[in-house]
Structures are given as C-alpha cells and as structure tokens.
C-alpha cells in the first residue's frame, strides 16, 4: 500500500496509549487499529482532523506516500509525464 500511516510514531512521541487516543477522538480502539495498521480503505476528514487536534500535528505527520515499486519508471509512466508537461 503506497499510503503509510504513522499514527504509531506520533503516539510514541506523545507517550499516549492507543486506547486513550481512540477515546479522545470518539472511535473504537478496533477502528483505530484498522487505521493505524494501514488496513483502512479510507479515512473521514473529521476523524483525521480529530486525530490531528488531539496529537497536535498536521495530516502530513500521520500520512505519507511511498511508491509501490522503487525501480525505474515504466515507459508508459514516462510518456504520460512527458505529455502532461507539454
């Protein structure tokens, strides 16, 4: 999955247990576990905003993108990028 969820990192920095965060943002610990373990298909902006509010951080502190494949770009990707830049 190219979107990496770093909630664990922020929880460790804040020395906050997962259960406390779940209670403060109003979701179940099980739903928070799905999100923090990267198994969620989506996240509501209201949930993301609540997490950022409680952890005093920005969405970019919690979510980051990593490409699936770090090899050379495919010819179609290079062509698409080239066409987009024209």
* More confident site: 81 or 5: 5
Decide if 32 contacts 22 (C-beta within 8 A). yes
- Mean pLDDT, the chain, rounded, equals 88
Residues of 15-51 as b/e, b for ≥16 C-beta within 10 angstroms? eeeeeebbeebebeeeebebbbeeebeebeeebeebb
Fold (CATH) for 3-85: 434 Repressor (Amino-terminal Domain) (1.10.260)
Domain ranges (residues) in the chain: 3-85
Report, as an integer, the average pLDDT of 44-67.
97
pLDDT exceeds 80 at position 52: yes
From 34-38, 44-48, 53-57, 72-76, the region with the lowest mean pLDDT: 72-76
pLDDT at 15 over 70: yes
Tell me the whole-structure pTM to 2 decimals: 0.75
**Segment 43-47 mean pLDDT:** 97
Question: Alpha-carbon Rg of the chain, whole angstroms?
Answer: 17
């Amino acid at each position: 999955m190219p979107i990496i969820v770093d909630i664990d990192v922020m929880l460790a920095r804040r020395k906050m247990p997962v259960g406390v965060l779940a209670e403060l943002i109003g979701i179940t610990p099980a739903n928070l576990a799905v999100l923090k373990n990267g198994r969620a298909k989506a996240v509501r902006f209201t949930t993301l905003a609540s997490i950022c509010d409680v952890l005093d951080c920005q969405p970019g502190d919690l979510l980051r993108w990593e490409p699936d494949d770090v090899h050379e770009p495919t010819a179609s990707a290079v062509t698409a990028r080239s066409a987009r830049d024209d």
